[in-house]
Structure 1
Amino acid sequence: MLITAMSISAMTISVAMAGGFNDKIFEGNNLDSMVFGQQLINAIITKENDISFMECIQQCVNYKRCKSVNYLRSFLQCELNYEEELSEEIFFISNSNVIFSRIKEWKKVR
């Protein structure tokens, strides 16, 4: 899967599959949809390997309990999280390799 178009101002991202365009186009409300350099700790449901950022978002949207993702860019690894808010047990750490995103800030536009 390749990202074929990305409009940073509107955060509209089209995703193309090898056989053509996928129906699913997501739109984040603004740049706050993605937090670079922060990783949510102690809330992981599952991990997916060899996956793109947009596939990671799609996995979370399809998983009922998923509320946020950590995407580890260097490893092409997606961590699906059951939480999006901080607590005593759940917190952020700095990690320049990670993009964190809350799923409620993404919406399907098609």
Structure 2
Amino acid sequence: MIFLALLFMNHCFADLRHGYAMLQYGHKLDRRMITSYDGYSILDCVEDCLRTTRCRSINYHQGAHFCQTNFESRVSTPDLYLEKPGWIYSDIEDWDRVIAGACSMSNCSMNEKCIPKPFDQITCVISDCGIPLNESFSMEKVREWDAIGVERGIHITCSAGYKQQGSERFVCRPDGSWMTDLSCTMRSKIT
């Protein structure tokens, strides 16, 4: 019983000072979202990111209590790190992993999210469909509210030199696979 009490206390005493000190007010990372949530506190947003294996950063709008989790950071995509009044940006590495409780040491796969259960148990569920990677795909036309999370969609076009057929919209299925009819074929060179 004492062991359980000490374990619980350890989760409650995460060091939040460094994370709060590193918040970037008036900034957000654009067009690299996993998913978004309404009615979250900034700490809820951080915890969700810590439990989502692919998450690298968050955007938070304090006035709207709105959270966005991102699969990139301002370091990996500096050109998408923008000044946006009302938003707060944070890199997930600035936060104490203990915030995630039992999920702080999960072994969930890259496209999964850890869900805490009673008695420090966890389960892993699919969180996203990953980044549609193919040399024929381009993420240049991804829109502001596009996301790779389950039941979300993202606009992918064909790279330069490829002919596009079908829709640009990719939709993430609950099984973690993309649904799309986009076909990118190499343009033939005229000689």
Is the helix fraction higher in 1 or 2? Answer: 2
8 A contact 2:16–2:95 mirrored in 1: yes
Which residue in 2 is equivalent to 1:38? 27
For the pair shown, the structure with the greater C-alpha radius of gyration is 2
Q: Which amino acid aligns with 1:37?
A: G
Alignment partner of 1:51 is 2:25:
no
The ranges of structure 1 where at least 4 consecutive aligned residues each deviate by more than 4 angstroms after the TM superposition are none
Match of 1:64 among 53, 74, 79: 53
What CA RMSD, in Å, does the superposition of the two structures yield over aligned residues?
A: 2.4
Q: Which amino acid aligns with 2:54?
A: R
TM-score (norm. length: structure 2)? 0.41
8 A contact 1:27–1:109 mirrored in 2: no
SS of structure 1 residue aligned to 2:55: coil
Alignment partner of 1:73 is 2:62:
yes
TM-score (norm. length: structure 1)? 0.68
Q: CA deviation at 1:57?
A: 0.5
8 A contact 1:27–1:108 mirrored in 2: no
Is the strand fraction higher in 1 or 2? Answer: 1
Provide structure 1 residue ranges, at least 5 long, that are not aligned to the other structure: 1-21
Alignment partner of 1:87 is 2:77:
yes
The percentage of aligned residue pairs carrying the same residue is: 23
Which residue in 2 is equivalent to 1:10? none
Q: Note closer, same or farther for the CA distance 1:30–1:80 as it changes in structure 2 (3 Å cut).
A: closer
Aligned counterparts of 1:60 and 1:30: Cα–Cα separation in 2: 13
Provide structure 2 residue ranges, at least 5 long, that are not aligned to the other structure: 1-10, 100-191
Q: Note closer, same or farther for the CA distance 1:37–1:60 as it changes in structure 2 (3 Å cut).
A: same
1:89-108 mapped onto 2 (5 Å cutoff): 91-108=80-97
